[in-house]
Amino acid sequence: QVQLVESGGGSVQSGGSLRLSCVVSGYTYTSVCMGWFRQAPGKEREGVAAIHDGRTSYADSVKDRFTVSQDNSKSTLYLQMDSLRSEDTAMYYCAATKDGYYYTVPVLLPSEYDYWGQGTQVTVSS
């Protein structure tokens, strides 16, 4: 059974940093895309960052502030968030596609992802 478990959320002041982690278990794969998404109250879930085969994609709103990465075993996904703003406040989710992802560019569409974690809350106060 595939499980994704996020951690690292919390409350921080504007301009601060947080590092989210997502541990993936029960998933043996050859090629998948993994991503971070967020959802604020009353808003749709949106893609934040994704990584596949060393390539990364970022939403315009987080470029140059957030960095997505994986450990060497690819069992843990990270999201380093710097220069946080109040508008970054949301529940953050990690997700993975089904095995067999071979697109060149990591996708940021939630509908392309099949496995999801439960989320970790990030609150940024101004």
Q: State the Cα–Cα distance between residues 85 and 14, nearest whole angstrom.
A: 5
Mean pLDDT, residues 7-29: 96
pLDDT (0 to 100) of residue 102 = 83
What's the average model confidence in pLDDT over 71-96? 95
Give the C-alpha separation, 86 to 57, whole Å.
22
Q: What H or E segment, with its residue span, contains residue 84?
A: none
% of the chain exceeding 70 in pLDDT: 100
Residue 71 identity: D
Residue range 54-66: mean pLDDT, rounded: 97
For residues 38-67, give the mean pLDDT. Answer: 97
